[in-house]
């Protein structure tokens, strides 16, 4: 029976592989070989790992007698290793652990080569059994029709790692974590997101969450951070935020944004408010030692100075003691990077978002400690500064420094691997491509083109040649590559270069109808020509092959809208919201589709999601107001109207206001069956805000009077009604030649009549102060209409107008009688 001590020590070793800690002890119950392998792994001495006598025979070159199919040969060797002569429980567990360690070592070698660009001497010969297996590994790593990038070096290590992980059994529990790392690294080497890899990733995340209770706090921080990073990559922004918050809370990192007085420019005389990210608490950093050896600090990438004649290098605060940044350990710095990337995905583009991201980065750069975290921080700053005239030059120089880091070998492998899985550092070729993009943005297109050619990034190569007006050269370059080796992707590139759809079709057939890019390119070609209905079948085939194609879903949704295929458009937009849940435009478009389908309730709920994503967009609020009105959600209509005033300063929609007033005065029920009369005070408050900024709209004052008159038994309300009717009457009667327009004339007469009625009612309750002013207003109205009648004697006024005028004259006589009676008394 297996020793429990052995199992516990193996689990401690498993954790040490994850967090780079040394757990070896002299009285270790586990075999000396395992202890030695762990020490070599944690020291990043992978050559010693694979040269260990205990496992060396596993990795000798394949002989002809063993066969030609590499994974079968290696599989047979691993089975013999596990079923060796010492096949008791304890030894088997140790052997499983050794396979885990060997697989993790192979993965680390691939990450070192492609994400840290560190190269050992004789790198390709470290594992002899796969030293000539690059092409075989590339074929094995192809998934969902997606090829591994040509820039990925030594892919045989990546393939070998997953082969080894597949043979690890119980009680080795953390193999799922290493498989998660393998899957995500594999995904980052592909040109697009793979649904199969995502499904496998979700399975491993589920297994890890079951193990979480057995991990220490620092291991849980890494776990949730890595899950958050993966979720963010696959557009699952909400899930990413949840896991990043868990990591932040476990690390006890408490921070917020605040404003402090300071200067940003050299010539600034007055301190103004500046945004800073303030760390309120970071107990995690004080609870343990830094994971980085200070001797490596000189090997960190150089932070290029701004050297601008106007801007300061950093903010000059009026009182630096107000925001004192504590010493952050590298894990807390990595959390800042995670929060920065989450902000980039979770917020609409704005100067405020860029400033928030820059403050996260500034906290990290204030005290460089970890190579991978420092690289990512400088990369993020360069991305942000690349959009501004005064900082784009520094951004380009900084990117060049980061790319040059990949050509240096002064930092140890261990130093570069620290926190590499939570640093969010992209593959080395991604950084080089971003440098090339900056060159093109600065106008140095030839410099950017040279880099893209070296990286075999043919889409960008074609774009550069088109910018240089050398389209024929783009075609020639792709044909040269096809002469070397034909691939479906290269045929797609030739289609891009020549705008010939036949090449996309050839790529589609050559891939066994698995290359989503071919159908996407066919669809985009028609989409750009506004042949929307013709593009739909191609986008449907694209997303059928790869359901994680956000751009394809977006184009399919829009094309379906233009073709008035509303059900298809709704389905496509729903998939867009699944992939990018924080995009307000997608939610807004989906609501419009639901309205076309006459599904107002779903449109209303969908617009609530759009508002959540973009609270400052008045267009969405206006749509929400109108849909809420249709759904009889009157309280939401009032809320939306208030928000529109907040955003626009003033907003008048008399049709909406009229429907609201009518619903209140008739005590109609809302969608929940509640009476509208309870909203009378809130609606009155809304009218108060409207009339405070819009004083010359007679319709608004008239509706305001209608609303208040619904409580006509109260003297105060009657006085307000009289006041608002008077303002409405004044607005209409000041209109030029109102008496010549029958409609306007009748409106004035109606208001005058209501004004008289309100005045008489107040008089009956003992309030006589408004009688004289109302009498003058009514008299002026009657005189003006009669003067117009006398001038147009041949054109009799309408009967309805005559009736209103007669009624008004009668009310004027009543007011006169009341005044006479009051004077005699």
Kindly state the tokens that stand for 357. Answer: 């991201």
d(CA 335, CA 353): 17
- Residue 481's alpha-carbon distances to 475, 477, 490, 509, in angstroms, are 10, 7, 8, 19
Q: Which residues contact residue 222 at a Cβ distance below 8 angstroms, ignoring those fewer than 6 apart? A: 18, 19, 247, 331, 421, 422
Give the pairing type, strands 272-282 and 253-265. antiparallel
Dihedral over alpha carbons 543, 456, 391, 342 (to 10 degrees) = 30
* Span 16-72, pLDDT tens digits: 888 766 555 544 544 677 888 888 898 888 888 888 878 877 888 877 667 677 888
Average pLDDT over residues 727-740: 83
pLDDT at 823 over 90: no
Across the chain, how many H-helices and E-strands are there?
38, 3
Residue 79: the pLDDT is 86
The set of long-range contacts for 472-481, using a CB threshold of 8 Å and a minimum separation of 24, is: 477/453, 481/456
Kindly state the tokens that stand for 747. Answer: 């409106």
User: With contact defined as beta carbons under 8 Å apart, do 643 and 617 qualify?
Assistant: no
Average pLDDT over residues 453-459: 92
Residue 293: the pLDDT is 44
Bridge partners of 276, per DSSP, are 258
| Residue 226 pLDDT class (50, 70, 90 cuts) | very high
DSSP line for 768-803: -TTHHHHHHHHHHHHHHHHHHHHHTTTSPPPHHHHH
Kindly state the tokens that stand for 18. Answer: 């994850």
pLDDT at 710 over 80: no
pLDDT at 113 over 50: yes
The least confident of 404-413, 436-445, 656-665 is 404-413
| Residue listed under structure tokens 């952050």 | 328
Kindly state the tokens that stand for 676. Answer: 């509208």
pTM score above 0.85: no
Question: What percent of the chain is predicted at pLDDT more than 70?
Answer: 91
| Residue 785 pLDDT class (50, 70, 90 cuts) | confident
d(CA 611, CA 617): 8
Average pLDDT over residues 646-656: 91
d(CA 361, CA 481): 41
d(CA 592, CA 239): 27
d(CA 502, CA 232): 36
Dihedral over alpha carbons 189, 193, 417, 411 (to 10 degrees) = 50
* Span 318-367, pLDDT tens digits: 888 777 888 889 999 999 999 999 998 887 777 888 899 999 999 999 98
Residue with the larger pLDDT of the pair 712 and 670: 670
**Roughly how many angstroms between the first and final C-alpha of the chain, as a whole number?**
116
Q: Of 575, 605, 603, 599, which is closest to residue 589 (Cα–Cα)?
A: 603
Residue 285: the pLDDT is 47
d(CA 623, CA 619): 6
| Residue 808 pLDDT class (50, 70, 90 cuts) | confident
Q: Which residues contact residue 166 at a Cβ distance below 8 angstroms, ignoring those fewer than 6 apart? A: none
Q: How far is CA 497 from the centre of its chain?
A: 32
* Span 556-603, pLDDT tens digits: 999 999 999 999 999 999 999 988 888 889 999 999 999 999 999 999
- At CA 247, angle to CA 242 and CA 252, rounded to 5? 120
Kindly state the tokens that stand for 792. Answer: 């147009």
pLDDT at 796 over 80: no
Kindly state the tokens that stand for 390. Answer: 């005064």
Q: Which residues contact residue 781 at a Cβ distance below 8 angstroms, ignoring those fewer than 6 apart? A: 729, 733, 748, 749, 752, 808
Using the 8-state DSSP alphabet, how is residue 23 labeled? -
Using the 8-state DSSP alphabet, how is residue 63 labeled? P
Using the 8-state DSSP alphabet, how is residue 713 labeled? T
| Residue 310 pLDDT class (50, 70, 90 cuts) | confident
d(CA 170, CA 790): 106
- At CA 386, angle to CA 383 and CA 389, rounded to 5? 155
- Residues recorded for the chain: 825
| Radius of gyration of the chain measured on its C-alpha atoms | 37
Bridge partners of 282, per DSSP, are 253
Bridge partners of 316, per DSSP, are 263
Average pLDDT over residues 148-169: 92
Neighbours of 100 (CB within 10 A): 25
DSSP E strands: which ranges in 292-344?
A: 311-317
Kindly state the tokens that stand for 336. Answer: 């800042």
d(CA 103, CA 163): 8
Average pLDDT over residues 796-816: 79
pLDDT at 539 over 90: yes
Could you give the count of Cα atoms lying within 13 Å of 377 in the half-sphere of its Cβ?
Answer: 29
User: With contact defined as beta carbons under 8 Å apart, do 50 and 105 qualify?
Assistant: yes
Average pLDDT over residues 400-422: 86
Q: How far is CA 371 from the centre of its chain?
A: 27
| Residue 438 pLDDT class (50, 70, 90 cuts) | very high
Average pLDDT over residues 447-457: 93
Residue 122: the pLDDT is 56
Q: Of 603, 614, 605, which is closest to residue 580 (Cα–Cα)?
A: 614
Give the pairing type, strands 253-265 and 311-317. antiparallel
d(CA 588, CA 557): 12
d(CA 79, CA 796): 109
User: With contact defined as beta carbons under 8 Å apart, do 513 and 144 qualify?
Assistant: no
């Amino acid at each position: 029976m297996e020793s429990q001590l052995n199992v516990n020590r193996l689990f401690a070793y498993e954790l040490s592989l994850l967090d780079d800690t040394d757990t070896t002890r002299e009285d270790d119950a586990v075999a000396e070989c395992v202890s030695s392998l762990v020490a070599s792994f944690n020291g990043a001495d992978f050559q010693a790992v694979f040269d260990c006598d205990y496992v060396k025979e596993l990795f000798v070159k394949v002989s002809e007698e063993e066969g030609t199919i590499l994974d079968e040969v290696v599989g047979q060797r691993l089975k013999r290793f596990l079923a060796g002569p010492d096949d008791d429980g304890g030894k088997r567990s140790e052997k499983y652990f050794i396979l885990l360690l060997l697989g993790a070592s192979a993965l680390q070698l691939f990450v070192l080569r492609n994400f840290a660009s560190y190269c050992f001497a004789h790198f390709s010969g470290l594992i002899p059994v796969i030293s000539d297996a690059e092409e075989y590994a590339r074929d094995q790593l192809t998934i969902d029709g997606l090829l591994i990038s040509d820039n990925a070096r030594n892919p045989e290590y990546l393939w070998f790692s997953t082969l080894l992980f597949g043979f690890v059994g119980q009680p080795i529990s953390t193999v799922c974590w290493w498989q998660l790392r393998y899957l995500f690294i594999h995904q980052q080497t592909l040109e697009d997101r793979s649904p199969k890899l995502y499904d496998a990733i979700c399975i491993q995340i589920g297994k890890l969450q079951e193990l979480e209770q057995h991990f220490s706090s620092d291991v849980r921080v890494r776990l949730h951070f890595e899950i958050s990073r993966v979720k963010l990559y696959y557009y699952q922004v909400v899930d990413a935020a949840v896991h990043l918050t868990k990591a932040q809370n476990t690390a006890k990192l408490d921070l917020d944004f605040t404003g402090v007085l300071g200067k940003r420019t050299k010539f600034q005389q007055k301190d103004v408010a500046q945004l800073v990210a303030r760390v309120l608490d970071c107990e995690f950093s004080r609870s343990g030692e830094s994971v980085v050896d200070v001797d490596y600090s000189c090997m960190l990438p150089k932070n290029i100075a701004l050297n601008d004649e106007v801007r300061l290098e950093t903010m000059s605060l009026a009182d630096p003691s107000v925001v004192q940044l504590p010493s952050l350990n590298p894990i807390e710095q990595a959390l800042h990077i995670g929060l920065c990337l989450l902000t980039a995905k979770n917020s609409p583009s704005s100067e405020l978002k860029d400033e928030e991201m820059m403050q996260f980065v500034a906290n990290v750069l204030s005290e460089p400690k970890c190579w991978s975290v420092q690289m990512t921080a400088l990369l993020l700053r360069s991305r942000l500064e690349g959009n501004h005239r005064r900082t784009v030059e520094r951004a380009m120089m900084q990117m060049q420094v980061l790319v040059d880091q990949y050509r240096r070998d002064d930092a140890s492998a261990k130093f570069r691997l620290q926190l590499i899985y939570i640093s969010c550092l992209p593959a080395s070729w991604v950084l080089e491509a971003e440098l090339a993009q900056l060159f093109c943005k600065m106008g140095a297109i030839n410099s950017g083109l040279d880099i893209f050619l070296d990286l075999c990034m043919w889409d960008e190569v074609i774009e550069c040649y088109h910018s240089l007006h050398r389209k024929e050269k783009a075609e020639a370059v792709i044909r040269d590559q096809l002469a070397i080796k034909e691939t479906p992707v290269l045929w797609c590139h030739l289609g891009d270069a020549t705008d010939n759809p036949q090449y996309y079709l050839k790529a589609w057939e050559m891939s066994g109808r698995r290359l989503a890019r071919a159908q996407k390119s066919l669809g985009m070609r028609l989409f750009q020509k506004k042949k929307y209905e013709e593009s739909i079948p191609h986008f449907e085939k694209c997303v059928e092959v790869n359901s994680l194609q956000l751009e394809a879903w977006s184009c399919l949704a829009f094309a379906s809208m233009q073709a008035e295929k509303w059900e298809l458009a709704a389905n496509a937009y729903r998939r867009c919201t699944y992939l990018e849940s924080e995009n307000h435009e997608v939610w807004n478009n989906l609501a419009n589709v639901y309205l076309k389908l006459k599904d107002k309730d779903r449109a209303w709920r969908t617009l609530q999601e759009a508002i959540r994503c973009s609270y400052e967009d008045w267009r969405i609020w206006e749509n929400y107001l109108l849909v809420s009105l249709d759904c009889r959600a009157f309280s939401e209509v009032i809320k939306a109207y208030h928000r529109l005033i907040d955003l626009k300063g003033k907003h008048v929609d008399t049709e909406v206001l009229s429907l609201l007033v009518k619903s209140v005065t008739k005590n109609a029920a809302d969608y929940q069956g509640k009476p509208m009369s309870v909203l009378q005070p809130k609606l009155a408050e809304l009218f108060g805000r409207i009339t405070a900024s819009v004083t010359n709209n007679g319709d608004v004052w008239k509706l305001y009077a209608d609303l208040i008159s619904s409580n006509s038994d109260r003297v105060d309300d009657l006085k307000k009604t009289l006041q608002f009717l008077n303002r409405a009457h004044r607005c209409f009667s000041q209109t030029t030649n109102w008496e010549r327009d029958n409609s306007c004339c009748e409106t004035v007469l109606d208001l005058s009549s209501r004004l008289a009625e309100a005045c008489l009612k107040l008089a009956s309750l003992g309030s006589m102060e408004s009688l004289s002013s109302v009498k003058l207003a009514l008299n002026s109205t009657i005189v003006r209409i009669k003067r117009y009648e006398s001038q147009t004697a041949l054109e009799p006024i309408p009967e309805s107008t005559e009736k209103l005028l007669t009624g008004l004259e009668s009310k004027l006589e009543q007011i006169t009688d009341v005044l006479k009676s009051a004077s005699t008394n």
